[in-house]
Amino acid sequence: MKRSKILEERRKSLPKDIKIFISLSFSIVDRIHFILEEQGKSQKELAELLGKKESEISRWMRGNHNFTLETIAKIQAALDKIVIDVPIEEKEYKLVKTTITNRIELPEMQIYDRNNVLNESCKYEFKTSVLAWNKSAKCKKNSVGTFN
Amino acid sequence: MRCELELFEEYDDINFYSVRFEGETELEIEKFFLKFSSGSKYDRDFNKIIGWIDKIAEKGCLSRYFRPEGKYEDGVSAIPIEGNKIRLYCVRITDEILILGNGDVKNVQRWQEDPVLKSFVENLIKLKQKIDNRIKRGKVFISGKEISGNLIFDI
């Protein structure tokens, strides 16, 4: 495969953060594009949902927009789908689970992870915890159904 | 001006081409790269363009990644890095073929206001028209990521 010597030389000094920035921005717009296709929505409809002009959405979708977290949150809310997902390390995850278990007295509470998505693992943990509470007669059994 | 379309870089699914004007040793895209030596004040903007080119090599030249310059039908785009002072102009032929032209620092609102940028864009517009005509007349062929046939143009 032919490569340019001049470009290859410049690639060697390409900063890692720029590679990551470009990669992330492309991934985000590709993800939004995928969701729009999946939901049969156009960029114009997304613009309407966000109260923006279609031209602004087109500009975002070119793969190098510096999205703010606020914008991503608005897109995520408008499309009701995860746009970006931040991994939770095992150590951090245990803390989340502990917090959930401690808050078990609120039967109508739903367990969402930090991306605002119902977390299956958390739900399971929550259910297990409720069952444990049932055994010790601290919670009514029908509370479990609320969380499924 | 006589010029020839030449393969610049080849990837699994896409090819980058550029233009060499008659009597010149460098392709237009090479002139662009040589213009911004490492350590210049535009390093960051320049590096983002390289990062963008690499990403396009991976994902393909999908039309939604490009910002049309001039009329949409002209087919010329600027590599659209937001907030970037440098512009690199290109022509998207298909999802698999991209022609990289020249570019420079943009200090004006519109490329039409800068004679250097204007010449880069207008040359690409003329080249695109010639390529389209030859494709219609069966003198230039597109097959996957390859463009072949008579690739010498007077623009």
DSSP-assigned letters across all residues of chain B: -EEEEEEEEE-SS-EEEEEEETT-SS-HHHHHHHHS-TTSTTHHHHHHHHHHHHHHHHH---GGG-EE-SSGGG-EEE---TT-SEEEEEEE-SSSEEEEEEEEE--SSSGGGSHHHHHHHHHHHHHHHHHHHHHHTTSEEEETTEEEE--EEE-
Provide the chain A residues 15-34 that lie in CB contact (below 8 A) with chain B. Answer: 15, 18-19, 21-23, 26, 29-30, 33
How much is the ipTM here?
A: 0.86
Interface of B with A (CB under 8 A): 7-12, 29-30, 33-34, 38, 44, 46-48, 50-55, 59, 64-67, 80-83
User: What CA–CA distance (Å, rounded) separates A63 from B84?
Assistant: 14
Task: Determine the pLDDT at residue B37.
Answer: 80
Task: Determine the pLDDT at residue B32.
Answer: 95
What is the per-residue pLDDT across A5-36, written as a single tens digit (0 to 9) for each? 999 999 999 999 999 999 999 999 999 999 99
Task: Check pLDDT > 70 for residue B57.
Answer: yes
| Cβ distance of A33 and B11 shorter than 8 Å | no
What is the per-residue pLDDT across A40-92, written as a single tens digit (0 to 9) for each? 999 999 999 999 999 999 888 887 888 999 999 999 999 999 999 998 887 77
Task: Determine the pLDDT at residue A144.
Answer: 40
Task: Determine the pLDDT at residue B39.
Answer: 82
Which residue in the block uniquely carries the two structure tokens 């000094």? A13
CA A35 distance to own-chain centroid: 13
Task: Determine the pLDDT at residue A117.
Answer: 60
Task: Determine the pLDDT at residue A129.
Answer: 44
- Contacts A37 to B, Cβ<8 Å: none
Task: Check pLDDT > 60 for residue B119.
Answer: yes
Task: Check pLDDT > 80 for residue B91.
Answer: yes
Which residue in the block uniquely carries the two structure tokens 């049932």? A134
User: B83 falls in which pLDDT band (50, 70, 90)?
Assistant: confident
Distance from the Cα of B52 to chain A's closest Cα (Å) equals: 6
Mean pLDDT of chain B, nearest integer? 93
Q: Which has the minimum average pLDDT: A137-146, B6-15, B144-153? A: A137-146
Top residue of B65, B72, B87, B102 to mutate, by most chain A CBs within 10 Å, is B65
Task: Determine the pLDDT at residue B79.
Answer: 85
- H or E element at residue A71: helix A69-79
| Cβ distance of B9 and A21 shorter than 8 Å | no
Task: Determine the pLDDT at residue B40.
Answer: 84
Q: Which of B85, B69, B79 has its CA nearest to residue B122?
A: B69
Distance from the Cα of A19 to chain B's closest Cα (Å) equals: 6
Task: Determine the pLDDT at residue A110.
Answer: 53
Task: Check pLDDT > 50 for residue A146.
Answer: no
Instruction: Give the mean model confidence (pLDDT) for residues A89-117.
Output: 60
User: A101 falls in which pLDDT band (50, 70, 90)?
Assistant: low
Quick check: A141 contacting B, CB < 8 Å?
Answer: no
What is the per-residue pLDDT across B16-47, written as a single tens digit (0 to 9) for each? 999 999 999 999 999 999 998 888 889 999 99
Q: Which has the minimum average pLDDT: A89-98, B46-55, B107-116? A: A89-98
